[in-house]
Structure 1
Amino acid sequence: MGSMIAPPDVQPSLAPRGGVVRPARRPPGWVAPGPRPATPDRPEVWPGPGEDLCYLSGDFRILQRLDGHRWSADDLVTAWFAAERVAHAPPRRTVDLGCGIGTVLLFTAWRFPDARCAGVEAQEVSASMARRSVAWNGVDARGEVRWGDLRDPAVLDGLAPAELVTGTPPYLPVGTGIESARLQCGPCRFEHRGGVEDYCVAAARLLAPGAPFVACAAARQRPRVEAAAAAAGLALEAWRDVVPKEGKAALFSVYALRRAEAVASCHDEPPLVLRGRNGRFTEEFDALRRTMGMPV
C-alpha cells in the first residue's frame, strides 16, 4: 500500500518522556475487542527519545525503537497460528522464547486474558522494552520477561509446565549474510545464540504433556526444523507456508510441534497469502487480523 499523510486528528503526539505516541487508525464505529490495558501511573512505561508506542491487538500497545527491531508479519502469524492450536482449551501458562520486544508475548496475553505469559530474551535492550510494554498494558501480575539466554536451563527455571510455547528464532547462521548495524537487528536475524535447534531443546524442557511448540523459520528450512525437533524429542505436527503476495514464493513458514509420542501424523496446511495481486490484503489475512484484534 502506498504511504499517506495522517489527517490532523490522527497525527503522532509526543509522550511525557519525549517519545512518539502513534494514533489509532480505525474505521468509523470500530470498537476494540479483548481486554483493556490498565496503564500504571509510571513515566518509564511511556516511550522516550528514539522510541514510539504503537497499537498491536485491540487497545494493547507495544514500545519499539525507531532505529531498531520492529514487529512484523512473522510475529503476527506465529502468534495467530499458535493461538488457533490451543483455542479449544485456552492455556493457563505460556512462554515465548527469544521474545524480543515482546510482540508474540503481548499478542498471546491479549488473546488469552487469563493466562500467565512469560518471555525469555537475551538482548538487554529488547528485554527492557518488553518489560515496559507488559507494564504499559497492565499485565504485570500475569506477565514477566526474563533477561537471559534460553540455552541456559537456569533461565527457564519455574516456567514449566507450559500449555503453549512459542518462538521466532533467527533464520541465518552468523557469517551467511550482511548484518544490519541497527540496534537489536543483527541478533534478530542471525544466530548469535543458537537457532531453531536450541529453541526446540528449550521448548522440550517447558512443554506440558500434549502441548504445542509453535515457531517460524524460513520457508526452505523445513528439513532443518524436522531434524531439530527429532533431536529434542519433538515431532512436526503441521506447518503452513506464508506467501507475501499472490504469485510470489513463500517467505517463511510456521510450524507446530509436540512431543513425539503425541504426534500421530504430519500434514501441511494451505499456504497463507498475505496480499493479492492488487497489493491489498487478502480476505483470509483480513480474517486473521480480525481474530487478533486488529481493525480491517
Structure 2
Amino acid sequence: MENTHRQFKGWTKPGPLIESVSEVEADETLDALSGSYRIYQYADGHRFSTDDLLVAWYATSHSVRAEKVLDLGSGIGSVAMTTAWRLPNAKFTTIEAQERSVRLARKSLKHNELESRFTLITGDMRDATLLESTEKFDLITGSPPYFPLTDGVLSEHPQKVECRFEARGDVRDYCDAAARNLAPGGMFFLVFPKNQEERLLEGVLRAGLIILRSRAVVFREGEVPLLSLYQVGRLTDFPEKLSPKLFSVHSRNVGWEEPALIIRAMNGEVHPEYSVAKLSIGFPP
C-alpha cells in the first residue's frame, strides 16, 4: 500500500510518507509540494510558483548544514516547507504580514506533520523587534515581491497584491532584515528579476552584504533571463582578498556568475538539468 501512495506518473516519491486527512474549505485547494508534502492555497489567491521552488533548491544546494532557518515574507509557506523537506533536522522561523496567508501555512504545517519544527510570526519583516536581537540564523531565504505599487494593474484579490507588489517594502528591506538576523557565516538566498538587479545591488551594499554567487534563470532556451538566484553573505565574514573576485568587469558585485539554469529547452520539453533539480527537492521531473 505504501508503494502505491508513493507513485505518481511513474515517479516514486522520496521522503516521509504523509497520510493526513485533508480539511479543504470551499475557497481552497490542497496541492502537491515536495515528496508527500502538500500545501493549502486559495483557489483565486496567490499560489506558489517556480520562483519559490528555485529559491528553496538553490539555498539547500549551497547551505547544506543549516540548523536554524528564517524565511522572510513567507506567504503560504512554500519556500520554507520545500526547504524543510530537504533539511529534515533544521528548525524554521517564518515572518509573514498577511494573516490569511499565515492561516494557510498553519494548516499546511499540520497536514505535513511539521508543527514542531516551525515558529510562525505574523508581522512586517521590516520590524526589527519581531525577533530577539540574540536570535540569529544560519540560513535566510526570501522571494521578495518584484514590482512597485505604481507598476501594473493591482489584483482584486488582496493576498495577490502584497505577494506581487511592494506594499510592505522592497528587496532593499529584505537585505536589511537578512543582515540583522544572519548568524556568523550565515547565508541569505533570494530570487529577483534580472532586469531589476541594480535595486538588489543597492540593498546589498546598504546592508553591508556581498553577493557571493548568482545564477540567471532562462524560462525558454534562447530567450533572455528573466530572473536570477543569489547567494549573499555578510561582507565582514570574508577575507578582503575575496571581494575583488566577486565583481564583474563592469565593477558590479554579482558574485561568481554560474551558467544560466534553463527551465525549458527550445522544443518545449523540461530541460534535463531542471528535471534533476526538481527531483532533488521532491518534485516529479
- Fold agreement, TM-score > 0.5: yes
d(CA) in 1 for partners of 2:91, 2:264: 34
Match of 2:37 in 1: 60
8 A Cα contact 1:35 1:113, kept in partner: no
Whether the 8 Å CA contact 1:214–1:254 is kept in 2: the answer is yes
Deviation at 1:236, TM superposition (A): 0.8
In structure 2, what is the equivalent of residue 146 of structure 1?
Answer: 121
Contact 2:6 2:12 in 1 (8 A): no
Mapped pair 1:33 → 2:8: no
Aligned to 2:186, what secondary structure does the other structure show? coil
Deviation (angstroms), 1:55: 0.9
In the alignment, what sits opposite 2:269?
280
Equivalences for 1:1-296 in 2 at 5 Å? Answer: 26-28=8-10, 30-37=11-18, 39=20, 46-87=23-64, 90-157=65-132, 160-263=135-238, 264=242, 265=246, 266-296=255-285
Structure 2 stretches of 5 or more lacking a match?
247-254
Which residue in 2 is equivalent to 1:16? none
Matched residue, 1:10: none
**Superposition deviation, residue 124 in structure 1:** 1.0
Name the amino acid aligned to 1:291. S
Measure how far apart 1:36 and its partner are: 3.4
Deviation at 1:226, TM superposition (A): 1.5
Question: Contact 1:160–1:205 at 8 Å: present in 2 too?
Answer: no
**Residue 204 (structure 1) shift:** 0.9
Cα drift, residue 116 of structure 1: 0.4
Distance 1:25 1:228 in 2: 44
State how far apart, in whole Å, the 1-side matches of 2:283 and 2:262 are: 18
Deviation of 1:159 (Å): 8.1
CA contact (8 A) 2:138 2:183 kept: yes
SS state at 1:230 partner: helix
Residue identity matched to 1:293 = G
CA displacement, residues 228-250 of structure 1 (integer Å, 9 cap, x when unaligned): 01111111111111111112221
Name the CA distance, whole Å, in 2 between partners of 1:72 and 1:244.
13
The alpha-carbon deviation at position 151 of structure 1 amounts to 0.6
In 1, are the aligned partners of 2:6 and 2:13 still within 8 Å (CA)?
no
Give 3-state SS (helix, strand or coil) of 1:208's partner: strand
Distance 1:152 1:126, change over 3 A: same
Which string of whole-angstrom CA distances, capped at 9 and with x for unpartnered residues, describes residues 194-228 of structure 1? 01111111111111111110011111122221110
**Partners in 1 of 2:264 and 2:19 — Cα distance?**
34
Deviation per residue, 1:56-102 (Å, 9 max, x gap)? 10101100111000010100001101111112xx2111010000010
Which amino acid is 1:86 matched to?
Answer: S
Counterpart residue type for residue 264 of structure 2: R
Change (3 A) 1:60 1:232: same
Could you tell me how far apart the structure 2 residues matched to 1:191 and 1:158 are? 26
| Count of aligned residue pairs for this structure pair | 267
Give the alignment's TM-score, normalised by structure 2: 0.89
Name the aligned partner's letter for residue 142 of structure 1: R
Alpha-carbon distance in 1 for matches of 2:192, 2:160: 16
Amino acid at match of 2:37: F
Q: Is 1:24–1:55's contact at 8 Å kept on the other side of the alignment?
A: no
Distance 1:131 1:158 in 2: 25
Give the whole-Å Cα distance in 2 for the aligned partners of 1:191 and 1:183: 13
**Alpha-carbon contact 2:213-2:230 (below 8 Å) kept:** yes
User: Which stretches in structure 1 are left out of the alignment for 5+ residues?
Assistant: 1-22
The sequence identity of aligned pairs, in percent, is 39
